[in-house]
């Protein structure tokens, strides 16, 4: 089934100049980038994006990291896009992510794990709305 998902390249991916290499992987897989923008997230937007983690011990560190630099927000479309992208991104902890995944190949710590990707249709809809207003 063709679907849309939200993907965000985090400040570490931008600072390390990995934007093109990561996007190329999605395109090589046959996925289509239908919307994209670069921005510096406000604390308010960051807290909305990660509201499910509020109260956890890593929440403040995550918010500080995600607002520390520019990010690239994207809407990616394709067959089973949500699960395909999640598999391509790899496990949250780059040290546990398989080689061949984005985090396994380029990542080395958390929260500096390069990419945020929606984990369900509901979160994709919510996150696309947050960043693109629809």
Tell me whether residue 16 is annotated as binding.
Answer: no
In sequence order, the 6+-apart residues with CB closer than 8 A to the CB of 36 are 72, 73, 74, 75
Tell me whether residue 93 is annotated as binding.
Answer: no
116 catalytic? Reply is yes
Tell me whether residue 54 is annotated as binding.
Answer: no
DSSP, res 93: S
Q: Could you say which of 74, 116, 117, 127 is catalytic?
A: 116
Strands 2-9 and 32-40: what pairing? Answer: unpaired
Tell me whether residue 10 is annotated as binding.
Answer: yes
Instruction: Specify binding-site residues for ATP.
Output: 10, 58, 86, 92, 103, 113
Point out the residues that are catalytic: 116
């Amino acid at each position: 089934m063709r679907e849309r998902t939200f993907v965000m390249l985090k400040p570490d991916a931008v600072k390390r100049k990995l934007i093109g290499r990561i996007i190329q992987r999605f395109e090589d897989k046959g996925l289509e980038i239908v919307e994209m923008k670069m921005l510096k997230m406000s604390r308010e937007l960051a807290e909305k994006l990660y509201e499910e983690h509020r109260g956890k011990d890593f929440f403040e560190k995550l918010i500080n990291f995600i607002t520390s630099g520019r990010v690239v927000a994207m809407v990616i479309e394709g067959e089973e896009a949500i699960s395909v992208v999640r598999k391509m991104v790899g496990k949250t902890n780059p040290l546990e992510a398989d080689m061949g995944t984005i985090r396994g190949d380029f990542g080395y710590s958390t929260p500096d794990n390069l990419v945020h990707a929606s984990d369900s249709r509901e979160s994709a809809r919510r996150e696309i709305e947050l960043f693109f207003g629809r």
